[in-house]
A and B are shown apart, each in its own frame.
Chain A
Amino acid sequence: MADTLLKLSHLHKDFAVNRSLLQGHRKRFVSAVSDVSFTIERGQTMGLVGESGSGKSTIGRCIIRLINPTSGTIDFDGHDVASLKGRDLFNFRREAQIVFQDPQASLNPRMTIGEVVSEPLVIHRTGTKAERIAAVKGLLETVGLNPEHINRYPHEFSGGQRQRIGIARALALKPKLIVCDEPVSALDVSIQAQVLNLLDSLQAELGLTYLFIAHDLGVVQHISDTVAVMYLGTIVETAPVNLLYSAPRHPYTQSLLSAIPVPDPKVQRTRSRIILRGEVPSPIDPPSGCRFSTRCPVAQARCSQERPDLHEIEPGHFCACHFPSPTTP
């Protein structure tokens, strides 16, 4: 496809875990992300969902190179950014930015919001001081804050406003891609809707591309064009948003969708839930074969031996399962 902005191929990320000294020097690894490949088209939003520990955030951080992938390639606008160093990496930071989950923790309490938002501009030596101040005021206005508040400190703002500050900072260098790592999960519903609308309108105005990481499937459905579902470091299913929600084929996606309570009592009473047994296994010692096989309601002998590839089961719909459900549930 001509207009692919980001293409991940066989991305792996292992973290070393040090056991206590008495257990010797045998190094063990958490396989946080294992063989992940996907593409995001320019101007689109890819939603990445999964439970805690599924590797969503690790992927986001690898893409903007906050951490270095163990192996695999990250093709961004025609260049592999997985191995960038020095000046090239520095320049790449203009292209891809991140909005963090916790607006409280991701803003320096000792910096005014003007300093917070202008910091990327200062680091990248953009404009004169007067130009930067004008730019920051413009950015604050763009995200719906009062530009006169430029000299206030983060504690003077509410959670939703702080998240807007985080978004303004991410926008400062006019990036092409923004990784949104659970940007609304710390916010109340009414405020969450405000921030989602802001992200939507910014995308329309500035032609941004988003990787939207969240565990709330309702939010992801609202904002995404395509959705990838992760389980224990692997992508189990990816499809255009409507297809994924209306006709999930992977048993994990099906159970995940059925587990969310719907805010409609009549629908909720007639729904049946697929309750998964047990809990997510440790990524230090992931199950052999399909990583979901230990909890899968339809697992067979083959599943624990052979790892299923993510393959296209219908146009645009990829599923990593030996026995994808044939019909829509």
Chain B
Amino acid sequence: MRPDLTDGHTVHFHGFPNAVPAFDGVPELSVGVPYGRSYTYYYRPHDPGTYKYHCHFEDIEHVSFGMTGIVFIRPAADDKWAYNDSSTAFDREFALLLGEVWTQERWEGAHIQEHDWSDYDPDYWTINGRVYPDTLEPNSDPMTTPAIPRLQYQPISSLITCNSNDKVLLRFSNLGFQRQAMRVDGLTLRVIGKDAKFLGPLAYDTDTVDISAGETFDVLFTAPTVTTPTTYLLYNRKLAYLNNGGLPGLGGQMTEIRVSPSGVPAQGEPNT
């Protein structure tokens, strides 16, 4: 799209404990990876929890442009626990990476124009790189054309499906620049971890999880017993962000939690 660009890149493993600069991905404090070169990052996973990774090269731009992702470190005790504590056991897990799109800046980036980051003013709010109702579409493979072709390069679904009484883990991570308020009406959300640290006795119940830029939260809920399929909305209480570019109707950072009486197969991979 922009073959004139020869930016370097890095990977910053955000929150990894006691990182060393050579493998922390800040190019000014280590090395950037030039166009056409490769670099191997070494680290030992220490503490279980939800982390994230992103490029730290000209980070305002490279993060905003989408060089972001989620990392889980699984506890040694059990792959189906969030932390090394049986109270964090889950049946299903879903990663929810929050982001924002400032289309003016993106247009300028695509058209070789300067932009002023202090004017930052996004107009789309995403979960896993999609806006509602695209968030409900299934996972896809970027190497093949999905049912909705425009989602080919946004392969990660945010649809949460589970059976009655399932314990569901939501791994929230915010790599936008704003503070969001992710909410579910009708369920109790138990916040069990923040920033890849088990909260233990500090765990708390809520219906809204406030998440600032750079934070992660691990949240458990137990699906209610239902006799018919029941849907709960997971949405940003900053209601103006439930919108797609100012168009009529709902959009933005919203997805659904669909609880079935039974029959949802055991989860193989996250977000399925």
Partners in one complex: no
